[in-house]
């Protein structure tokens, strides 16, 4: 452990950013994923993020680092576009799936198989990081250009106009359920959508049967008129919104496909498979498993890594108790709060409840069908929760930053998505 790295982290300005209750295994897959070499391997030259930092279940953001990455991505986008990025991702997915299938059945050594799996999943993490630089670049472009042509309800226009043309895995999953496809076929093809930690169990046939019974009527997305001067920009932004979901889907799909090899590694070291999450993934390459539980901190800088139980920085206490965010879909709704921080908690969301979470994922759709409104800590007007709220016509406020910290299960609230405020009624 490097005191120099710890001091470097302490000297930087950090803001709590994305809450992700990962453990050592997934954090380790992010090691070296943001180097220039990794970005070059996914055909995005000249981009890097030198420092990664997470503690107590949250990633932290340094604005200077993001601005540097934004500028690097902007230079790439001078001669490329979002369609180049999504094309690269699809090629990566196809080649990786073929490679994993080959590795599972090959007579290569277990260590050799695992090393190649680690490299695939690491590059999938590179795509995950890329989305943040790309999104920052296009958000700036939207703020600069849209007000020149749209004079009112700008955020709503951007959200509606950003609806992706392409169908992601969840849309295809939903389509299979609505088509009446057998639940076992759906589970076999899309069961992995439930898994957001790499080690949980996929959707079961019974769960899919339940989702079919709870499925809300399909809503057709309403096309809006986009000024000719903005059509190319929104063509790119629609592809970005698709990419943002797609790149995490690729990661979890490849992770799920790789499980037979990871299970073999677990068996070799007599580790229960679900306990593998607490081990540094990279440590199995050299045959010396390193377990970190409980794990508070992950930090990476120029090839050096910290895994430790103690936090590095002290979080600022929440002083502002007002819950306010961006309006994704207007309306007012009262209900009982259910705070969801992982997929295993989705079942507690009952019909009419207010779903409060850091951000939503495709695996949240059954709970979103039951809930009457959504409130998220993260995300903007083009995030997953915003898109689904417009599909389901349910009030939604996103990007509050503090909703899950202030609200608790059982609180009675009013989601006023006409004003972008959540009012606590039982305080």
Nearest to residue 159, comparing CAs of 385, 414, 422?
A: 385
Give tens-digit pLDDT for 167-212. 889 889 988 988 989 999 999 999 999 888 889 899 999 999 988 8
Instruction: Indicate the CATH number for domain 323-424.
Output: 3.50.30.10
Q: Distance between CA atoms of 220 and 171, rounded to whole angstroms? A: 12
Q: Is the dihedral of CA 34, 38, 42, 45 positive or negative?
A: positive
Phi, psi of 394 (to 5 degrees): -120, 140
CB 365 within 8 A of CB 343: no
Q: pLDDT, tens digit, for every residue of 19-56? A: 888 999 999 999 999 999 999 999 999 999 999 999 98
Domain ranges of the chain: 3-163+223-308, 167-220, 323-424
What local confidence, expressed as pLDDT, does residue 379 receive?
86
CB neighbours (10 Å) of residue 251?
21
Q: Alpha-carbon distance 390 to 424, whole Å?
A: 24
Please state the pTM of the whole predicted model.
Answer: 0.91
Whether residue 318 has pLDDT greater than 70: no
Q: Which residue has the higher pLDDT, 217 or 157?
A: 157
| Spatial CA neighbour of 21 closest among 60, 55, 47 | 55
Residue 102 has a pLDDT of: 98
297-301 and 323-324 as β-strands: parallel, antiparallel, unpaired? unpaired
Radius of gyration for the chain, computed over Cα atoms and rounded to the nearest angstrom: 21
Per-residue pLDDT at 250 exceeds 80: yes
How high is the pLDDT of residue 108? Answer: 96
CA pair distance 42, 358, nearest whole angstrom: 29
* Phi and psi, residue 291, nearest 5°: -100, 135
pLDDT digits (tens, 9 = 90+) for 116-141: 999 999 999 999 999 999 998 898 89
Q: Average model confidence (pLDDT) for the chain?
A: 92
Report residue 65 as tokens. 């680092």
pLDDT at 1 over 70: no
pLDDT at position 392:
87
- Distance, in Å, from the CA atom of 144 to the CA atom of 148, rounded to the nearest integer, reads 8
Residue 41 and residue 23 in contact, taking contact as beta carbons nearer than 8 Å: no
Render pLDDT for 356-369 as a digit per residue (tens, 0 to 9): 999 898 778 889 98
d(CA 74, CA 138): 9
């Amino acid at each position: 452990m490097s005191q120099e790295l710890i001091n470097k982290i302490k000297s930087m300005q950090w803001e709590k950013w994305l809450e992700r209750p990962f453990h050592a295994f997934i954090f380790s897959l992010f090691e070296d994923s943001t180097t220039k070499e990794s970005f070059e391997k996914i055909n995005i030259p000249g981009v890097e993020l030198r420092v990664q930092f997470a503690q107590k279940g949250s990633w932290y953001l340094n604005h200077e680092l993001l601005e540097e990455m934004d500028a690097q991505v902007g230079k790439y986008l001078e001669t490329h576009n979002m369609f180049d990025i999504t094309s690269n991702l699809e090629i990566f997915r196809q080649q990786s799936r073929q490679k994993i299938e080959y590795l599972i059945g090959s007579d290569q050594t277990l260590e050799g198989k695992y090393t190649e799996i680690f490299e695939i999943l690491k590059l999938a993490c590179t795509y995950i990081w890329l989305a943040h630089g790309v999104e920052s670049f296009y958000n700036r472009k939207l703020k600069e250009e849209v007000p020149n042509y749209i004079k009112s309800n700008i955020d709503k226009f951007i959200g509606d106009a950003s609806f992706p043309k392409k169908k992601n895995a969840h849309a295809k999953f939903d389509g299979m359920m609505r088509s009446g496809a057998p639940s076992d076929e759906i589970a076999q093809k899309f069961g992995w959508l439930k898994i957001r930690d790499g080690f949980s169990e996929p959707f079961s046939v019974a769960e899919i049967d339940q989702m079919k019974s709870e499925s809300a009527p399909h809503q057709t997305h309403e096309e809006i008129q986009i000024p000719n001067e903005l059509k190319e920009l929104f063509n790119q932004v629609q592809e970005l919104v698709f990419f943002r979901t797609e790149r995490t889907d690729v990661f979890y799909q490849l992770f799920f496909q790789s499980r037979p090899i990871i299970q073999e590694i677990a068996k070799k070291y007599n580790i229960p498979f679900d306990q593998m999450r607490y081990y540094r993934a990279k440590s199995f390459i050299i045959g010396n498993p390193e377990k970190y539980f409980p794990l508070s901190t992950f930090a990476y800088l120029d090839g050096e890594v910290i895994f430790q139980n103690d936090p590095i920085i002290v979080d600022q206490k929440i002083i502002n108790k007002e819950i306010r965010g961006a309006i994704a879909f207007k309306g007012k709704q009262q209900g009982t709060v259910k705070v969801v921080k992982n997929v295993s908690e989705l079942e507690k969301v009952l019909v009419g409840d207010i779903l409060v979470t850091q951000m939503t994922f495709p695996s949240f759709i059954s709970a979103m069908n039951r809930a009457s409104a959504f409130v998220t800590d993260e995300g903007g007007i083009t995030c997953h929760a915003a898109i689904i709220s417009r599909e389901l016509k349910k009030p939604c406020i996103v990007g509050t930053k503090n909703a899950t910290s202030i609200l608790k299960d059982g609180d009675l609230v009013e989601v006023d998505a006409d004003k972008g405020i959540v009012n606590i009624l039982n305080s």
